[in-house]
Chains A and B, each alone.
Chain A
């Protein structure tokens, strides 16, 4: 019933507007369409002037209102750099935006059609054109240079002591792998994947037998962390919004991203004023039906807390092969070197 009512009202409104439009056309024919256009120009000029104020006012108001919805201060070291360049770009583009939009709307108001007025024949001015080519070019250069300076810092090699975690995307969840006590991840092969071996661990490689596949991602505050990102089916994207991290997960081609967490979950709860705050890992690349729910819980903690957590985790080998003997600790250095080649 309400649907019909709404449809009815909409149709009626449209019919009324169409009727008014037809009538006003009749009037304009009587008056002369050229004259009507000229008469209306003042109305349009004021509408555009008014629109300009509403436009700028609306932007200012909405920025204030929604500022708190934006991502909070970055929880990673490099994220702060990104935020800084974002703000620099916002400043530059903001100024250009206000100047050009204001000029546009003001010109509409100021140079509206007036009876007997003549436009100014002004086809070109090379000097002016040169300047407004050079000035944007200078600003672009500044933005590019600052951007790339940080781009190389962010994408440069991870520090030697970085903690390495492998994250594999699949429809529709993430599988994280920590290397276990030996600090080395075992070999894997996609052809070995099955329900009991979700990333295709090669059990002939002892280095893998202590690898841990937990249900949550844990990072250590202040510890450079290098993520090896993989996918076992379609493309995904490893997205940690609070850390300003995004990297595609490409089947068959491992990618990496390294960053340094800056705040523990607890600290972030204080910063955001939200006692229930939690970091989340999202998927940012369309990957199928449940793309929108492909998430994983993320926790940042101190080294001690992390050690306690990882110490309590069982190796994947023992969880999928309960009958197996406790995982031997890999001390064989050749295995270490090999798995490094294969795994990364």
Chain B
């Protein structure tokens, strides 16, 4: 057993933890990141160091983002060029693209897996997993997570989950094809679509593992934030990143179990003849059930009870990262710190009671629908407050255009655009027209897809120096930003127009309808830009992996001149345990930028005489 696992094994209290861990560490060996007890496996594979686990999540997230992006590039080729044949598609996909044309069922599989991968593996696992793990202990002043072991298990359940999902690409009947929401009966019946065979089983197993991973991570984040904050770090002095991760973890803890139950019932319906979701179905030439009485609407309620909080699980960490980066680089305190916390709490709370706005046209009682309209549009108020506060943070700032800052700015712009279209969709009356069209696709991609990606990128560019002790290349980052920012608008803005023309989602092509066939040129344009933007992500990939080994070395402890604790570690690359000496004590909130003619005042600096500190 390595030294690190040893001392984490029997600490249960903050003070004991700090003393025990650090005395041991200091007495046995000098502060040295290369703990000689570490083997390759304990350091890189089964690591219990929150920073290494964060990197594992990050690299896995990047790999999955490439796969998820590639899938979208493939189906965009089909949508943009529905009449063409591409030899390379057949080379790549084999019998799923006979004669270089994607098979209609495989098209649905591509769409389904793109959504699943992006929502769960990239923007939940990759985003929350990376930054919650990396930043929580470092920013609250803790040696590690409350339970490093559970933390390690969280990653390995995530890994297991993603391997099961990956394997579903290689089963004969193909991966799940019922849309990322996998509504039954489509997802329950192999007769309905090929992907509902073995592929769907693997999907459900994978998601079950993913939920385990998410719960292990979430309970750890919450416990750590509540119990392991350093001296002086009251809740009201936590950086907004930590508040965001905290609320995110609570949302996950309360909503993912419901998805697990939804998935379990679906597994039962698929395999042991129950009919929770199935009723009066005639398919494949026979009535498939003897009994009647199930409801596929039940599944939708259970799914969206997770599904809606899930979009906030995706976007809240991005909001936290963006708030932090904007404040640092505007050289100003985040405007309305308390309102920012309040609005996140409000959004988090409300996210549990708006789910049925995904179901306005499911036949649900109109009165129930109207309640969800009211609750949904209430959520726009705290969202608006956040936007105004970000703008006020920039107002009269001294804005440094670092790569992380550019992505944070991009986030704000996208969040405004995507948030406003939510006011159309959240209003059930307008939703009748727009639901299930490309307007919805445009809305959620901008507001929680691309925007959350921008939060992820901002976080990577900002904390890369702390993660790897090296800088990323700024010029490549700028190219990456402008191509992605402009490209995202060029891809998703025209989709609003397609939605306003009534074009439904999940269509393999739209040539068979007179009503939609004139939208082909827009589709072609969108697809072309999508492929270009996808290829340009290579600038990020090259930059990330190249800089990890060859990037310019970080020489200053605090390259962004930030106030938070992660920049106070004794080593630029923090050791396992984070601070070689005592854990720093906190004396103020993290947003004292440009106060009293000081450029920045770290949280560790005691209040001067007569100074009012938060």
* B5 interface residue per 8 A CB criterion: no
Q: Which of B296, B392, B436 is the one whose CB lies under 8 Å from A237?
A: B436
Among residues 251 to 289 in chain A, which have CB atoms less than 8 Å away from a CB atom of chain B?
251-253, 255-256, 276-278, 280, 282-289
Q: How far is the CB of B279 from chain A (nearest CB, A)?
A: 3
Is there contact, CB below 8 Å, between A119 and B332? yes
A111→B332 CA distance, assembly (Å): 11
Among residues 367 to 397 in chain B, which have CB atoms less than 8 Å away from a CB atom of chain A?
369-370, 373-374, 377-378, 380-381, 384-385, 387-389, 391-392, 394-397
Q: How far is the CB of B283 from chain A (nearest CB, A)?
A: 4
Is there contact, CB below 8 Å, between B428 and A147? yes
* B67 interface residue per 8 A CB criterion: no
**Residues on the A chain within 8 Å of B474, using CB:** 24-25, 28, 33, 37
* A29 interface residue per 8 A CB criterion: yes
Is there contact, CB below 8 Å, between B501 and A71? yes
**Residues on the B chain within 8 Å of A216, using CB:** none
Is there contact, CB below 8 Å, between B193 and A250? no
Is there contact, CB below 8 Å, between A171 and B283? yes
**Residues on the A chain within 8 Å of B552, using CB:** 25, 29
* B468 interface residue per 8 A CB criterion: no
A200→B287 CA distance, assembly (Å): 11
Q: Which of A96, A114, A245, A248 is the one whose CB lies under 8 Å from B398?
A: A114
Is there contact, CB below 8 Å, between A86 and B430? yes
Interface size class of B (residues with CB under 8 A): 35 or more
Q: Which of A21, A190, A200, A293 is the one whose CB lies under 8 Å from B473?
A: A21
**Residues on the A chain within 8 Å of B90, using CB:** none
Q: How far is the CB of B538 from chain A (nearest CB, A)?
A: 6
Among residues 105 to 133 in chain A, which have CB atoms less than 8 Å away from a CB atom of chain B?
105, 107-108, 111-114, 117-125, 128-129, 132-133
Is there contact, CB below 8 Å, between A136 and B380? yes
* B40 interface residue per 8 A CB criterion: no
Q: Which of A24, A25, A85 is the one whose CB lies under 8 Å from B430?
A: A85
With contacts A190-B282, A235-B296, A253-B297 taken as known, whether A144 is within 8 angstroms of B373 at the C-beta atoms is yes
Is there contact, CB below 8 Å, between B333 and A123? yes
Interface code B587-613, partner A: CB below 8 Å = 1, 0 otherwise? Answer: 000010111110000000000000000
A3→B87 CA distance, assembly (Å): 10
Q: Which of A69, A111, A245, A248 is the one whose CB lies under 8 Å from B399?
A: A111
* B497 interface residue per 8 A CB criterion: yes
Is there contact, CB below 8 Å, between B413 and A69? no
Is there contact, CB below 8 Å, between B506 and A291? yes
Q: Which of A62, A125, A137, A289 is the one whose CB lies under 8 Å from B108?
A: A289
Is there contact, CB below 8 Å, between A289 and B279? no
**Residues on the B chain within 8 Å of A237, using CB:** 361, 436, 504
Is there contact, CB below 8 Å, between A108 and B399? yes
Q: How far is the CB of A96 from chain B (nearest CB, A)?
A: 6
* A173 interface residue per 8 A CB criterion: no
Mark the stretch among A150-158, A159-167, A328-336 that contacts chain B: A150-158
* B412 interface residue per 8 A CB criterion: yes
With contacts A21-B479, A155-B369 taken as known, whether A286 is within 8 angstroms of B522 at the C-beta atoms is no
* A100 interface residue per 8 A CB criterion: yes
Q: How far is the CB of B46 from chain A (nearest CB, A)?
A: 35
Counting chain A CB atoms within 10 Å of each CB, which of B88, B108, B285 scores highest?
B108
With contacts A154-B432, A246-B436, A253-B297 taken as known, whether A107 is within 8 angstroms of B395 at the C-beta atoms is yes
**Residues on the B chain within 8 Å of A24, using CB:** 474-475
Mark the stretch among A10-18, A205-213, A217-225, A314-322 that contacts chain B: A10-18
Interface code B201-243, partner A: CB below 8 Å = 1, 0 otherwise? Answer: 0000000000000000000000000000000000000000000
* B510 interface residue per 8 A CB criterion: yes
Complex: chain A residue closest to B436, CB-CB: A284
Is there contact, CB below 8 Å, between A41 and B401? yes
Is there contact, CB below 8 Å, between A59 and B433? no
* B29 interface residue per 8 A CB criterion: no
Is there contact, CB below 8 Å, between B186 and A287? yes
Q: Which of B287, B416, B512 is the one whose CB lies under 8 Å from A101?
A: B416
Q: How far is the CB of A157 from chain B (nearest CB, A)?
A: 10
Q: How far is the CB of B524 from chain A (nearest CB, A)?
A: 14
Is there contact, CB below 8 Å, between B280 and A252? yes
A284→B513 CA distance, assembly (Å): 13
* A104 interface residue per 8 A CB criterion: yes
* A203 interface residue per 8 A CB criterion: no
Is there contact, CB below 8 Å, between B398 and A250? no
* B331 interface residue per 8 A CB criterion: yes
**Residues on the B chain within 8 Å of A232, using CB:** 280-283
A200→B451 CA distance, assembly (Å): 49
A244→B436 CA distance, assembly (Å): 12
Is there contact, CB below 8 Å, between B427 and A85? yes
Counting chain A CB atoms within 10 Å of each CB, which of B331, B392, B401, B543 scores highest?
B401
Q: How far is the CB of B44 from chain A (nearest CB, A)?
A: 27
Is there contact, CB below 8 Å, between A285 and B436? yes
Mark the stretch among B164-172, B418-426, B571-579 that contacts chain A: B418-426
Complex: chain B residue closest to A71, CB-CB: B502
Q: Which of A132, A148, A253 is the one whose CB lies under 8 Å from B388?
A: A132
* A181 interface residue per 8 A CB criterion: no
**Residues on the B chain within 8 Å of A125, using CB:** 335-336, 392
With contacts A18-B476, A140-B381, A250-B297 taken as known, whether A124 is within 8 angstroms of B432 at the C-beta atoms is no
**Residues on the A chain within 8 Å of B297, using CB:** 250, 253
**Residues on the B chain within 8 Å of A299, using CB:** none
**Residues on the B chain within 8 Å of A137, using CB:** 381
Is there contact, CB below 8 Å, between B508 and A291? yes
With contacts A124-B339, A287-B186, A291-B506 taken as known, whether A241 is within 8 angstroms of B515 at the C-beta atoms is yes
Is there contact, CB below 8 Å, between B508 and A292? yes
With contacts A112-B401, A113-B400 taken as known, whether A289 is within 8 angstroms of B104 at the C-beta atoms is yes
* A182 interface residue per 8 A CB criterion: no
Q: How far is the CB of A74 from chain B (nearest CB, A)?
A: 9
**Residues on the B chain within 8 Å of A283, using CB:** 504
A101→B241 CA distance, assembly (Å): 24
Q: How far is the CB of A167 from chain B (nearest CB, A)?
A: 14
Complex: chain A residue closest to B477, CB-CB: A21
Among residues 4 to 52 in chain A, which have CB atoms less than 8 Å away from a CB atom of chain B?
10, 14, 17-18, 20-22, 24-25, 28-29, 33, 37-38, 40-41, 44-45, 47-48, 51
* B264 interface residue per 8 A CB criterion: no
**Residues on the A chain within 8 Å of B396, using CB:** 111, 119-120, 122
* A81 interface residue per 8 A CB criterion: yes
Counting chain A CB atoms within 10 Å of each CB, which of B339, B369, B374, B398 scores highest?
B398
Is there contact, CB below 8 Å, between B104 and A251? no
**Residues on the B chain within 8 Å of A309, using CB:** none
Complex: chain A residue closest to B502, CB-CB: A241
Is there contact, CB below 8 Å, between A193 and B282? yes
**Residues on the B chain within 8 Å of A291, using CB:** 108, 506-508
Is there contact, CB below 8 Å, between B282 and A107? no
A90→B401 CA distance, assembly (Å): 32
**Residues on the B chain within 8 Å of A97, using CB:** 416-417, 420
**Residues on the A chain within 8 Å of B515, using CB:** 241-242, 280, 282
**Residues on the B chain within 8 Å of A176, using CB:** none
Given contacts A85-B430, A144-B373, 7 further A-B contacts (CB under 8 A): A37-B401, A107-B399, A136-B384, A229-B363, A232-B281, A237-B361, A289-B104
- In the A-B complex, the 8 residue pairs with the closest CB atoms: A252-B279, A241-B502, A255-B363, A155-B366, A21-B475, A120-B396, A292-B507, A252-B280
18 CB < 8 A contacts A-B: A21-B475, A66-B497, A66-B522, A79-B433, A90-B424, A104-B416, A120-B396, A121-B596, A123-B591, A133-B381, A156-B366, A190-B280, A232-B280, A247-B361, A252-B295, A253-B363, A284-B504, A295-B512
* Chain A residues in the interface with B (C-beta under 8 A): 3, 10, 14, 17-18, 20-22, 24-25, 28-29, 33, 37-38, 40-41, 44-45, 47-48, 51, 55, 59, 62, 66, 69-71, 79, 81-83, 85-86, 89-90, 92-93, 96-97, 100-101, 103-105, 107-108, 111-114, 117-125, 128-129, 132-133, 136-137, 140, 143-144, 147-148, 150-152, 154-156, 170-171, 190-191, 193, 195, 200, 229, 232-235, 237, 239, 241-242, 244-248, 250-253, 255-256, 276-278, 280, 282-293, 295
